[in-house]
Every structure is written in structure tokens, then in C-alpha cells.
Amino acid sequence: MKIGLLGLGTIGSGVYEHLSRRDDISVKRILELVRHPGLEHLETSDFNEILNDAEIDTVVELIGGMEPAHTFTVQALKAGKNVVSANKLMLSHHMEQILTLAREMGVHYRYDASVGGSIPFLYNLMRYRGADRLVGLSGIVNGTTNLILDVMQTDGRAFDDVLAEAQRMGYAEANPSADIDGIDAMCKLSIASAVAYQKYVRPEDIDTEGIRHITAGDIIHFKKMGRVCRLIASSALNADGSVSACVEPTLVPDASTEAAVRLNNNAISVTGEYFGVHTFMGQGAGKDPTAFAVELGLRDILEGVSPRLNPIPEGYARIDNAAAKRRYYVRTSAPLEIAASALSGGAYVTEPIGVRDMHRLAKKLRETDPGLFFAGISE
């Protein structure tokens, strides 16, 4: 197998290093604007040199973002090349187009690396779908936010301080919005839910809240409640065939599995009607873990496993978050005109309220109090 590697950043360099140890998969060309000593003979700034090279049968897309990743992916598939990618933002917004095109062209699009890093989560969702009806997904899918929350609650450090350190360590981007506003987790949940329930889930239909506004005062309340805050992405298949799906800070019991997930690790659970709950834990991001997942995708194609694994969802799920209800911790200076018990410092614990209703209420209250913070309370 000869591949064209798009991007030689953190993940791309890891993939190159991993594949350099193999004799059955080789990198023939690298799309990269910045030249790297010793690799000049492989590098090009023109994607057409990869697209028109008949020897390159597989493209590894690690540019990230929406464009030009989307355009390059579509062009590669139309040219009859397999594609392996870790791009959750682009895939979650174009999943139907990409998977349908890959099927029409008789090639493979492997995206295991887009959710969970080195954790074989999507791979096993694909396998499980053939033997059981999957009814629920839940877990920590963003290592950056988990690192921030864990350090704040363990070491008592301020949000801005921990975020700055995460940026210095390479865990958070210079613009951290995708992580701390829950967008990265939203995209991952969209992809995983589509695989689990065999219905496409639009990212914009997922009620999403991040951790940007959490404070030390909130954490004091959590500790008094015997709770730990984690950013949880969850979805469930409802009895009527609709899907509930949300990303939000969640207060979990301090003895729970999620509370024990430290630093930048992930923990993702899947629920099946027959097998119950299986939880996958490990490094959800980073150079080597994600490169490992990309390499597995390449091996699936090389060994002929991919056609048996890749389920193609049909149609779009109807998202219904009104039926899902839970109590919420809310801290706000705005008047909270719903049933709730008052704590100190403008904090409350609400009576059960629908997930969609809570997210809509928070949006309205932020017109008065931009710093409002809320978190679901796990029962």
C-alpha cells in the first residue's frame, strides 16, 4: 500500500514515524507547506500530485478543520482512492456525503481515529452493531477538558491557569473554543451515534454546553455534594425510535468510573440490549495514540477487514431531548424562575427539567448573566 499523507503536524508526523517501521505500507508523498529536512523528496504543496499518482491508492487526511480537508477528501474518493482520517469536525458535518460516495466508488473511508484516539471505540461499535441493538452511549471524549477539570478539582488551580498550561503542553490549541465550548465532543458524539443507531445525527441538533464558565466557587459546591464535574457526551435510543443527544458538564458521584478518569484520558461506554454496558478507557488524543488508530485503519483496508466493518447509516435521526430529564446545578446572577433549591453564592439545584428546556433556559439567562454555569446531575 502506498499512501499520500495530508499534513505533517503532530499527528501526521506520528503516522509517518509509525509507517516508517513497516514494509507493507509506505508514504509516497506528503502534502505540506512547510519543508522538513530529510523529507523534501516526499513533500509537495500541490494536492494534484497525490491525486493524479496512480501508485497512491490511499490518502491519509490529517489536515483537520473543514476546508480544504473536505474538498480533498471528496476528490480523493472520486479518484478511486481509499481515505483514512481523524477529522471529526469535517466528518460529522459531511458524513452522509462521504460514506455514500465511498460506497458508490467502491473504496473505503476509515474514521476510527476520529473518536477516542487509541481507544478502539468506533471499531467495536461497528462490530457490535452486527450482534446487538445499541441503545446508549456516554462518556468523556475530550482529553483537554478532562485535564482542565481534573487539575482544577484536584489541585485547586484556576481555569485560566490550567488552560494556559494545557496550551503550553500541546493539549489545547491557541484558540481553545472547540474543546472548552464542547464543539469537539459534539462532533464526536454525532459520529458515534450515527454508527451506533444507524441514523445520521446532525451536530447542530445536539444540545451542547462547555466548561468555559466554571469557577472555583462552583467546585466548592461540587465537593460538598460529593460530586466531581466531567464534560460528558451522551446519547440514547428512545422507545419511539428518536434519539436524545447532548454534551454538557455533568456532576458524577466521586466514586464513579468517570470521576476516576484522570488528566487527558477518555472513558466511553456503550450500552446494548443483550451485553449490557461496556466501557473503553485510555488516551483519547495525542501524537502516538491517534497515529496508532490511523495505522489500524490502514491495516483494516490492507487486510480486507474494512468492508465487513463499515456500516452505512440510513436517513437522519429525529432528535428529542425533551423527554430526557435530570436535575441541574445552576449558578447565575439572573432570576431563576423554575423550581429549585438555593445554595450559596447564587447557586441552585433544580428539580428535574428536560435537557432541551435547560439549554434553552441557559441561553435566555445569559442575556442577563453571560457568566452563567450549569451542569447536569447524574443520578
Residues 229 and 377: beta-carbon distance below 8 Å? no
74-105 pLDDT, tens digit per residue, is 999 999 999 999 999 999 999 999 999 999 99
For the cut 90, the answer to whether the pLDDT of residue 117 exceeds it is no
Q: Is 140 exposed, middle or buried (0-12, 13-18, 19+ CB in 10 A)?
A: buried
Q: Give CA–CA dist 313/71, Å, rounded.
A: 22
The rounded mean pLDDT for the chain is 95
Query: Distance of CA 252 to CAs 63, 150, 242, 364, 371, Å?
Result: 35, 13, 26, 26, 22
When pLDDT is cut at 50, 70 and 90, the band that residue 308 belongs to is: low
Q: 256 and 127 in one domain?
A: yes
Q: 268 and 165 in one domain?
A: yes
174-183 pLDDT, tens digit per residue, is 899 999 999 9
229-239 pLDDT, tens digit per residue, is 999 999 999 99
Q: Give CA–CA dist 117/184, Å, rounded.
A: 13
Spatial CA neighbour of 71 closest among 52, 96, 97, 45 = 97
Q: 61 and 180 in one domain?
A: no
Give a yes or no: residue 44 inside a domain: yes
- Percentage of the chain beyond pLDDT 90 is 89
Rounded to two decimals, the pTM is 0.96
Q: Single out the catalytic residue among 81, 88, 188, 199.
A: 188
Residue 88 annotated as catalytic: no
Report the CATH number that the domain containing residue 149 is assigned in CATH.
3.30.360.10
Answer with the one of 226, 254, 282 that is the final residue of a domain: 282
Average pLDDT over residues 159-172: 89
Answer with the one of 51, 86, 110 that is the final residue of a domain: 110
For the cut 80, the answer to whether the pLDDT of residue 306 exceeds it is no
- How many domains does the chain divide into? 2
Q: 141 and 88 in one domain?
A: no
Q: 136 and 105 in one domain?
A: no
Residues 206 and 189: beta-carbon distance below 8 Å? yes
Q: 130 and 177 in one domain?
A: yes
Q: 160 and 139 in one domain?
A: yes
Q: 188 and 130 in one domain?
A: yes
Q: Give CA–CA dist 95/203, Å, rounded.
A: 11
225-276 pLDDT, tens digit per residue, is 999 999 999 999 999 999 999 999 999 999 999 999 999 999 999 999 999 9
Q: Kindly state the DSSP code that residue 316 receives in the 8-state scheme.
A: B
> What pLDDT sits at residue 171?
79
17-48 pLDDT, tens digit per residue, is 999 999 999 999 999 988 899 999 999 999 99
193-205 pLDDT, tens digit per residue, is 999 999 999 999 9
Average pLDDT over residues 310-329: 90
Q: Which domain holds residue 259?
A: 122-282
Report the 10 Å Cβ neighbour count for 348: 17
Answer with the one of 234, 256, 282 that is the final residue of a domain: 282
